[in-house]
Amino acid sequence: MQLLDETAYEAVRPLLTQTISRHAPVAAILAGGLDGEVWADDPIRPSVTLISDGEACYLAGDPRHPMQPEALRALIPAWTYFLPEDNWVFRLSEIWDNPFARPHPRLRFELEHPGPGAALPEGFELVPIDRNSVAGYPALHQFAEDEGDRWRSFEDFLDEGVGYAVLCNGAVVSHSLADCVVGDRAELGVGTEEGFRRLGLGRAAATAAVNECLRRGLVDIGWHCHASNAGSIRIAEAAGFRQRSQYFGYSSNLPAENVGDLSEAQCRDWAAHLETAAESVLWHDFHAAGAWALAGEPQRALRCLDRMVSAGWRGRAEWLEQHWAYAAIRDSERFAAIVARQRG
């Protein structure tokens, strides 16, 4: 596999039969709007391509091509969120060094018609994420810098990105933002801080972002989420999106993003699976702890974290403090001690 120069990116486009239509970030990487790496077995007449955006890897092409599996295994990190085209699934165990990954059902939505706007409760302010607002709100500036990290530059993010944020006392508490913009296409997402959910903030931000996309001529607007993410699904539907398809990602992370997305039985099943995985690959205890915490087993969660930190885990203490799945154990003295050990 060869790392391609940007001038050779177009050669792999014909291979991306599902990926281009399904994932706008891949189209944005090929167009130069997002940072990424594009690999191919041949830069002129490729049969296989692997694309990485730093968080996920996308695989397309001919799975029966006589390539040694080690060539792909060397490029695909065990921790990545893996999105192969459907015809590659039967080869995952050969080309990816993560025997503990499981399929994650995901939903893809498309805008059908813009939904009605939503009024904000008193004390909240809806602002566009643009040069003027970023200059006026320090917290929004920091948020925009973090979210724009995958774009080619912060200037590109401010010029071409689309998004709205909800502020409370100057802090960003909810937002809806385009992951990328390419041609007349955008892909929106949403996020709301714990303690500010079920107030209509995400819906207000999402409907405002949809209308801004349409004002700019971005008419092909998508939305993706885990099939377990009931909150994201509700907001997407309220903003005028309709489900078009289901597909699978692969990972040994939990297939969820919020407390309550998974049932207790699902959390227990994942916790047991990930504890077994941690016996071979240490960082799985990070996710095993989250699964146990969500299953109502705080002591088992803390035991996973204690074991992981004691064994020399190299992650940041902030990852422990900020992980959504640790809400039930975050205030315990034992959790604070584990975080302090990791920071030290």
Q: How far apart are CA 37 and CA 56, in angstroms?
A: 11
Same domain? 93 vs 126: no
Contact 69, 94 (CB under 8 A): yes
pLDDT score at 293: 98
pLDDT grade, residue 67 (50/70/90)?
A: confident
pLDDT score at 220: 96
Q: Is the pLDDT of residue 27 over 90?
A: yes
Give the pair of three-digit tokens for residue 3. 């790392």
Same domain? 234 vs 146: yes
**CATH number for the domain harbouring residue 245:** 3.40.630.30
Q: Is the pLDDT of residue 119 over 90?
A: no
Cα–Cα–Cα angle for 247, 100, 56, rounded to 5 degrees: 50
pLDDT score at 151: 87
pLDDT grade, residue 152 (50/70/90)?
A: confident
pLDDT score at 328: 96
pLDDT digits (tens, 9 = 90+) for 252-295: 999 999 999 999 999 999 999 999 999 999 999 999 999 999 99
Same domain? 63 vs 136: no
**What is the arithmetic mean of pLDDT over 136-151?**
89
Q: What are phi and psi of 298, to 5 degrees?
A: -65, -35
Residue in the block written with tokens 């996920």: 56
Is 170 within the bounds of a domain?
yes
Mean of all residue pLDDT scores within the chain: 95
Q: Is the pLDDT of residue 148 over 90?
A: no
Same domain? 46 vs 150: no
The neighbouring-strand residues paired with 79 are: none
Is 259 within the bounds of a domain?
no
**What is the arithmetic mean of pLDDT over 99-103?**
97
Percent of the chain at pLDDT exceeding 70 = 100
Is 104 within the bounds of a domain?
no
Q: Is the pLDDT of residue 192 over 90?
A: yes
Contact 245, 108 (CB under 8 A): yes
Is 257 within the bounds of a domain?
no
pLDDT score at 150: 83
Same domain? 91 vs 133: no
Rama region for 112: left / alpha / beta (φ>0; ψ in -120 to 50; rest): alpha
The CA-to-CA distance between both ends of the chain, in Å, stands at: 40
pLDDT score at 267: 98
Same domain? 66 vs 183: no
**What is the arithmetic mean of pLDDT over 92-110?**
97
Same domain? 308 vs 332: yes
Same domain? 80 vs 115: no
**What is the arithmetic mean of pLDDT over 134-146?**
91
pLDDT grade, residue 109 (50/70/90)?
A: very high
**What is the arithmetic mean of pLDDT over 195-200?**
92
**CATH number for the domain harbouring residue 71:** 3.40.630
Is 148 within the bounds of a domain?
yes
Range of the domain at 325: 264-343
What residues contact 47, with CB distance under 8 A and at least 6 apart? 15, 41, 61, 62, 65, 67
Using DSSP, state whether 225 is helix, strand or coil: strand
Q: Is the pLDDT of residue 68 over 90?
A: no
**What is the arithmetic mean of pLDDT over 84-97?**
96
**What is the arithmetic mean of pLDDT over 66-73?**
91
Q: Is the pLDDT of residue 123 over 90?
A: yes
Q: Is the pLDDT of residue 105 over 90?
A: yes
Cα torsion at 119, 125, 126, 127 (round to 10°)? 160
pLDDT grade, residue 233 (50/70/90)?
A: very high
Amino acid identity, residue 184? D
pLDDT score at 130: 92
Domain end residue (candidates: 61, 80, 99):
99
Q: Is the pLDDT of residue 153 over 90?
A: no
Domain end residue (candidates: 251, 273, 295):
251
pTM: 0.93
Is 240 within the bounds of a domain?
yes
Is 258 within the bounds of a domain?
no
Is 31 within the bounds of a domain?
yes
Distances (CA, A) of 329 to 116, 199, 203, 270, 326: 39, 25, 29, 18, 5
Q: How far apart are CA 78 and CA 101, in angstroms?
A: 9
pLDDT digits (tens, 9 = 90+) for 300-332: 999 999 999 999 999 999 999 999 999 999 999
Cα–Cα–Cα angle for 264, 266, 270, rounded to 5 degrees: 115
Same domain? 237 vs 281: no
Using DSSP, state whether 227 is helix, strand or coil: coil
pLDDT digits (tens, 9 = 90+) for 236-249: 999 999 999 999 99
Q: How many domains, the chain? A: 3
Contact 13, 54 (CB under 8 A): no
The neighbouring-strand residues paired with 243 are: 109
Same domain? 148 vs 213: yes
**What is the arithmetic mean of pLDDT over 89-107?**
96
> Alpha helices, DSSP H only, in 108-200?
131-136, 138-147, 154-160
Percent of the chain at pLDDT exceeding 90 = 90
Same domain? 230 vs 296: no
Domain end residue (candidates: 99, 128, 156):
99
The neighbouring-strand residues paired with 103 are: 250
Same domain? 62 vs 147: no
